[in-house]
Amino acid sequence: MNLNARFLLAVNKFFRKNGRIIVIAVIALIVLLLLNNMLKDKQDSIDNRSSYNPDKPIMDEGGKVPSGERDKVKKAIDDFFNYCNNKDYENAYKYLMKDAQEYYFMNSVDSFKGYVDSFFKTKKIYELQNYSNKDGNYIYTVKIAEDIEATGATGGYKAQEDKWVVRKSKEGIEEGVDGYCIAPHGYIGKKALSYTAEDENMRIEITSKDQSYSKVGYNLKITNKTDYYIVLYNGTTYQEITLNVDDEARGITNTGMCIAIEPDSTTTQPLIFESLYDSEKSISKLKFNLVRLDEKVEDCLTDDGTGSNKKYSFNIDLNNE
Q: What is the pLDDT of residues 191-219, one digit of tens each?
A: 999 999 999 999 999 999 999 999 999 99
Q: Which residue has the higher pLDDT, 62 or 110?
A: 110
Separation between Cα atoms, residue 234 and residue 223, nearest integer Å: 18
Number of Cβ within 10 Å of residue 241's Cβ equals: 20
Q: Please determine, for residue 181, whether its predicted confidence score (pLDDT) is greater than 70.
A: yes
Instruction: Count Cα atoms within 13 angstroms, Cβ side, for 79.
Output: 20
Q: Which residue has the higher pLDDT, 38 or 231?
A: 231
pLDDT of the residue at 214 = 96
Instruction: Count Cα atoms within 13 angstroms, Cβ side, for 315.
Output: 8
> What DSSP string describes 150-219?
HH---S---EEEEEEEEEEPPTTT---BTTEEEESTTEEEEEEEEEEEE-SSEEEEEEEEEEESSEEEEE
pTM for the full model? 0.79
pLDDT-derived band at 301 (thresholds 50, 70, 90) equals confident
* pLDDT digits 0-9 by tens, 7-66: 455 545 555 666 566 656 656 666 566 655 554 444 444 444 444 678 778 876 557 899
Give the DSSP H/E element, type plus range, for residue 126: strand 124-134
Instruction: Report all structural domains of the chain as residue ranges with CATH numbers, in order of start.
Output: 67-185 (3.10.450), 189-317 (2.60.40)
State what percent of residues in the chain have pLDDT above 90.
64
CA distances to 21, 22, 31, 32, 38 from 26, in Å: 9, 6, 9, 10, 19
Give the DSSP H/E element, type plus range, for residue 310: strand 310-317
Separation between Cα atoms, residue 302 and residue 24, nearest integer Å: 62
According to DSSP, residue 135 is labeled T
Give the N- to C-terminal CA distance of the chain in Å, as an integer: 99
Separation between Cα atoms, residue 68 and residue 74, nearest integer Å: 12
pLDDT of the residue at 158 = 74
* Contact indicator for 92, 115 with CB cutoff of 8 Å: no
pLDDT-derived band at 297 (thresholds 50, 70, 90) equals confident
pLDDT of the residue at 263 = 97
Contacts of 17 (CB under 8 A, 6+ apart): none
For the sheet containing 159-168, what is the strand order? Answer: 124-134, 137-146, 159-168, 180-183
Report helix angle 98-105 to 109-119, nearest 10: 80
Q: Which residue has the higher pLDDT, 49 or 264?
A: 264
Specify the pairing of strand 202-212 against strand 187-198.
antiparallel
* Contact indicator for 264, 227 with CB cutoff of 8 Å: yes
